[in-house]
Amino acid sequence: MPSIEVLQPVPAPIINPMKQAALTGATVDLDELALAARNSFLAELQEVGDYRALWHNEMRAFDGKPNSACVPHKWEYAIARDIVLRSACATTPAEAERRALLMLNPGVRRAPYTSDTILGAWQLLLPGERALCHRHTVFALRFFIEGAGAYTAVGGDKMYMEPGDLVLTTQFAWHDHGNEGTTPAIWLDGLDQPLFEGNFPINFQTRLMQHPDGEGKRYHDSTVKSGAEAPRQYKWADMKERLDAAPGSSIRLEYLNPSMVDQHVSRTIAAYALRVDANSRAKTRHDTCNNIFHCVAGDGVVYITDREGNTSEMPFRKNDTWVIPAWHAFTVCGGNEKAYLFTYTDFATLEKLGFYATGETHEEY
Ligand SMILES: [Fe+2]
């Protein structure tokens, strides 16, 4: 492997045509000598292997606007439900703890990206199934969609879930799931896993214990305390009551977690519930947050304006889920019925890192 020292000196043209073009705005017209020198230098860099010429990167990141390759996209529940239920035939009961279908953003088409920082996934647990107990540095929330008798246990405390309920599995807290009901349980998983990709190592641990069902050392007995913050469960009935009691034709309320200094549900993710009355509109948002939405009830449409100023309509119905990446302006409107939405964003992360900006403040961002 050659070292960088073997690179041949690059003959410098008397007038640097690139610099001249940058100063005058003229088209770059490299002479033969300069072109050969440039190509030779780049070829040698490639051979050395551990350097990259950054001036060959696309300049997309420097166009003056916060940007993302992710695009807005909706997963219709009418389609997703069938796919989720069919996923049962592609997994064994032993794989039940991982039977989740990631919502893949069409703009990047690779896991784990529903957005740049947060993901959404449908998870299915069949009647009688128990998922392997585990814990991880990735934070996860669950928003229950359908079923009865399913639970998430955090630190040994079982929390039974009804449609619309939100459950937090606190960072690095032992947790497992079970379905003691007679029908399939489906919920929406919200994780900050994309935030870790390429940035922080993920620590994922499983707890293997003897279980009396004879399936060997693979189940947690749901009694091991994690020592982490208290588990949190938010009942939809309580949140809906708060939404309905608030004045105005639209309202957004945050799920607050008293065990967090900033009261968000986690260090990385903030979660909210929205009410938008029929034929009414919520406040337009235009900021650096990545947003994942889920329609709990009702219907409506979201008007989304992309970075180039193009506006599109995204109609939604009950149980649809959609993503709106950072720096897309959007307005949620209620349809024929009053719309109730659940949404989670990376605001808790952006706020801490100083990356939060809005359409009004981005010039200073
Ligand atoms: Fe988990």
- From the CA of 175, how far away is ligand 1's center (Å)? 7
pLDDT for 93 equals 67
pLDDT for 154 equals 83
Q: For tokens 């964003």, what's the residue?
A: 345
Instruction: Extract long-range pairs of 160-164: CB within 8 Å, 24+ residues apart.
Output: 161/185, 161/187, 161/233, 162/235, 162/236, 163/236, 163/296, 164/235, 164/236, 164/237, 164/239, 164/240, 164/296, 164/342
- From the CA of 26, how far away is ligand 1's center (Å)? 56
Q: Which domains does the chain have, with CATH numbers?
A: 4-57 (no CATH), 73-364 (2.60.120.10)
Give the gyration radius of the chain's Cα atoms. Answer: 25
- From the CA of 134, how far away is ligand 1's center (Å)? 6
- From the CA of 65, how far away is ligand 1's center (Å)? 35
- From the CA of 182, how far away is ligand 1's center (Å)? 23
pLDDT for 364 equals 45
pLDDT (tens digit, 0 to 9) for every residue of the chain, 365 residues total? 444 455 555 555 555 555 566 666 666 666 887 888 888 998 999 899 898 888 766 555 566 777 789 999 999 999 999 999 999 888 876 676 678 999 999 999 999 999 999 999 999 999 988 887 788 899 999 999 999 999 998 877 889 999 999 999 888 888 888 899 999 999 999 999 999 998 998 888 876 655 545 554 444 555 555 555 565 899 999 999 999 999 999 999 999 998 888 999 999 999 999 999 999 999 999 999 999 999 999 999 999 999 888 999 999 999 999 999 999 999 999 999 999 999 999 999 999 999 999 987 655 44
pLDDT for 195 equals 96
pLDDT for 141 equals 96
pLDDT for 4 equals 47
194: helix, strand or coil: helix
pLDDT for 64 equals 72
Cα separation, 119 vs 103, in Å, equals 7
- From the CA of 129, how far away is ligand 1's center (Å)? 15
- From the CA of 136, how far away is ligand 1's center (Å)? 7
Question: How many C-beta neighbours within 10 Å does residue 207 have?
Answer: 17
pLDDT for 50 equals 92
- What secondary structure does DSSP assign to 55-68, as a single string? GGS-GGGGSSS---
- From the CA of 262, how far away is ligand 1's center (Å)? 23
- From the CA of 177, how far away is ligand 1's center (Å)? 9
Cα 191 to Cα 12, 202, 230, 234, 271, distances in angstroms? 51, 12, 19, 17, 12
Q: Which residues pair with 189 in a beta bridge?
A: 121, 142
pLDDT for 24 equals 66
